[in-house]
Amino acid sequence: MSKKQIQPASFEESLDELEALVERMESGELSLEESLSAFERGIALTRSCQKALQAAEQRVEILTAKNPDASTEPFDDDA
């Protein structure tokens, strides 16, 4: 992998790429150098996902602040 890596366009793409990297690393078929590169990329993707989640959380906070009667509930993802 090159030093300058292109960030995926969306949270979903970042997450998909991260999951694929984890699968490749767990397979045990990567060399040490490939594993290190995959790990570095994974860290960058994780940070990107964390930033996206923090931004989404801030947007929710702003939206609920405009309606003080709105209550938040935990998201139940049974789908």
Ordered structural domains, the chain, with CATH: 11-66 (1.10.287.1040)
Amino acid identity for residue 36 in this structure = L
Q: What is the mean pLDDT of residues 12-24?
A: 95
Please count the other Cβ atoms lying within 10 Å of the Cβ belonging to residue 14.
Answer: 21
The whole-chain average pLDDT of the chain stands at 84
| DSSP output for the chain | --SS-PPPSSHHHHHHHHHHHHHHHHHT-S-HHHHHHHHHHHHHHHHHHHHHHHHHHHHHHHHHHHSTT----------
Q: Please check the confidence at residue 1 and state whether its pLDDT lies above 50.
A: no
The pLDDT tens digits for 29-53 are 999 999 999 999 999 999 999 999 9
**Residue 78 binned pLDDT confidence (cut-offs 50, 70, 90):** low
Q: Residue 28, by phi and psi: left (phi above 0), alpha (psi -120 to 50) or beta? A: left
